[in-house]
Chain A
Amino acid sequence: MEKDTITIEIKQEVSITLLWIVAGVVFVSLAFLLTPRSTELWPALNVAGIVAAVYLITLLFYVLRKPLSMKLRLTAGIVAAVVMGCSAFTWTRMEDQTHWNAAKLMEIRERMGRGIMFHEMPAPLLKTLQAYHQQGAAKKKTLEDVFRGFYRGATVGSNIYKPQWEGDRLTIIVETLEPDRIALVSQETYVKGRDPNFRNLDGRIGMVQEKFILTGRGITHVSEN
């Protein structure tokens, strides 16, 4: 008789455990799978995480009910709250930190791109300026003439930059080529600049773009985007 009772009670416990697991798996999976897909795992994870937290809190209330002693329930409840609080904190901080890291990578990429432009763009203009002023007070050649002397065939819209290595995608485009004014422009093809609506020289929208302008008085720099 006692064996039968034990068997029934055990079956009930197994059923309850299975019921909890099945309910948890179904709710968490549904929350995860029904969240619209994106290029990130965070949206689905966050929704499923919230559902899992609700599930765990419900489970804790169920597990810590009477007849367990109040002291034990309180202790276990506090420990559970601390663990869940720490996990939630780590979770949200991880999301924030990884997004910060990814954004920082693009900031670094932007800085690298501008740095390369700042390094490469003034050189042709300085060379032109030097040769222009070396003519002395009575100048026979204009800035345009001197520049064309260095970059034969250069016209408005042409790229005067020679790639330094395989995969070097930098371009330095002649935007203006006038007797007393030369403007060079360089832009990124996929790195966003400050203004998302800025129209770049090649028709792209919102990319980094730098300009250097040469006149007889020297070089000026304009960070266009």
Chain B
Amino acid sequence: MSQKTDSSEFAPGFVWQICLLGAAVLAFTIYSSKGNLWVASKIIREPATALHPWVIAGLQTMENGLAAFSGMPPKTPPLVAQTRLLAALIIVLVISPTVFLLGWRRRRLNPSPSTGELRLHGSGVLYLLTGVITVYVGLSAPPIVYFAEKARGDLRRAQSVQDNRDQIITDLNFLALDIYQYRLLPRKMNGGAGSYVGYTLPPEVSKARDATYSAAVRDNEVAIHARSTIYPSASVKVTVDATGRLVWWEYAGEFR
């Protein structure tokens, strides 16, 4: 009663079906990661993410985002993506933890007799396989949280810097328009009549949120210096030439 043998714990058909399924998943994962098995890569496109269903859903969201970027309407996820997601959910959150945890409990309560030899029977292989998946998912969870949060923070900060830089570039384009108009307008319309001399930055520029602007005016060019108010070490220098074009862009600090 208390002495059980591993060899007869499960019905042979059940054991081999599960083992074959597990072996197939592992084989597809290994082969598709090397990109040399077309069928495998169709089933597990990103092997590293196959055990994290939320990554599959994230990829679909990104595909929709890219479609929207190109003016295409979002598509309903293909059946293969839905099947892949459901399969990942079932393997990772149902089959693996169930077989592993119930097997773990059984082994805790009824340890196999120590015979000194390695006994690799069907249930042992299954227990090992589901254990690997469950432990992998379990152990990888905390590091994934750490690295994902770090990547998220880095990405958001990089995007924030880029937003600031883009806004300053937009402001500089409008400043260039204002500066060149000054050159084109006659003096009686408060223009420079063919020169930049006398130009001053418009008052609304001093209220800009993203940067503080200063200008060095010469007859045929105006050098503008924009210093970010959000990232004080970041700045942009550019010159408006005699034809109104922005030339000699220089980025400093985090804008580089």
Q: Contact partner of B180 among A33, A55, A126, CB < 8 A?
A: A126
Given A5-B1, A9-B1, A106-B65, A94:B58 Cβ within 8 A: yes
CB distance from B12 to the nearest CB of A (A): 11
Are B181 and A219 neighbours in the complex by a CB distance under 8 Å? yes
When C-beta atoms are compared, the residue in chain B nearest to A189 turns out to be B71
B102 within 8 A of A: yes
Are A90 and B138 neighbours in the complex by a CB distance under 8 Å? no
Chain B residues whose C-beta falls within 8 Å of the C-beta of A150 in the assembled complex = none
Interface size counted on chain B using CB atoms at 8 A: 74
Are B76 and A126 neighbours in the complex by a CB distance under 8 Å? no
Contacting chain B: which of A38-46, A156-164, A196-204? A38-46
A124 within 8 A of B: no
When C-beta atoms are compared, the residue in chain B nearest to A21 turns out to be B98
B11 within 8 A of A: yes
Are B99 and A126 neighbours in the complex by a CB distance under 8 Å? no
B184 within 8 A of A: yes
Are A95 and B54 neighbours in the complex by a CB distance under 8 Å? yes
Contacting chain A: which of B22-30, B33-41, B83-91, B225-233? B83-91
Are A94 and B55 neighbours in the complex by a CB distance under 8 Å? yes
Interface 1/0 per residue, B167-202 and A, CB below 8 Å: 001100110010011001110010000000000000
Are A105 and B66 neighbours in the complex by a CB distance under 8 Å? yes
A13 within 8 A of B: yes
Are A10 and B137 neighbours in the complex by a CB distance under 8 Å? no
Q: Contact partner of A90 among B8, B56, B77, B141, CB < 8 A?
A: B141
Main SS at interface, chain A: helix
CB distance from B15 to the nearest CB of A (A): 9
Are B4 and A10 neighbours in the complex by a CB distance under 8 Å? yes
Interface residues on A, range: 35 or more
When C-beta atoms are compared, the residue in chain B nearest to A111 turns out to be B166
B109 within 8 A of A: yes
Given A10-B8, A41-B85, A105:B141 Cβ within 8 A: no
Chain A residues whose C-beta falls within 8 Å of the C-beta of B76 in the assembled complex = 37-39
Chain A residues whose C-beta falls within 8 Å of the C-beta of B69 in the assembled complex = 105-106, 108-109
Are A83 and B138 neighbours in the complex by a CB distance under 8 Å? yes
Q: Contact partner of B8 among A7, A48, A133, CB < 8 A?
A: A7
Chain B residues whose C-beta falls within 8 Å of the C-beta of A129 in the assembled complex = 181, 184-185
Q: How far is the CA of A10 from the CA of B65 in the complex (A)?
A: 52
Are A17 and B90 neighbours in the complex by a CB distance under 8 Å? no
CB distance from B153 to the nearest CB of A (A): 11
CB distance from B198 to the nearest CB of A (A): 15
When C-beta atoms are compared, the residue in chain A nearest to B106 turns out to be A13
Are B75 and A39 neighbours in the complex by a CB distance under 8 Å? yes
Q: How far is the CA of A97 from the CA of B62 in the complex (A)?
A: 10
Are A52 and B145 neighbours in the complex by a CB distance under 8 Å? no
B43 within 8 A of A: no
23 pairs from A and B in contact (CB 8 Å cutoff): A6-B5, A10-B10, A14-B14, A24-B90, A29-B90, A41-B82, A48-B89, A49-B53, A55-B93, A56-B97, A68-B109, A82-B141, A83-B138, A89-B145, A93-B145, A93-B149, A94-B148, A95-B57, A97-B155, A98-B58, A102-B61, A106-B69, A115-B169
Closest 4 CB pairs of A and B: A102-B65, A86-B141, A24-B94, A39-B74
Binding site for A on B (CB under 8 A): 1, 3-5, 8-11, 14, 52-62, 64-66, 68-69, 71, 74-77, 81-82, 85-86, 89-90, 93-95, 97-99, 101-102, 104-106, 108-109, 137-138, 141-142, 144-145, 148-149, 152, 155-156, 159, 166, 169-170, 173-174, 177, 180-181, 184-186, 189, 244
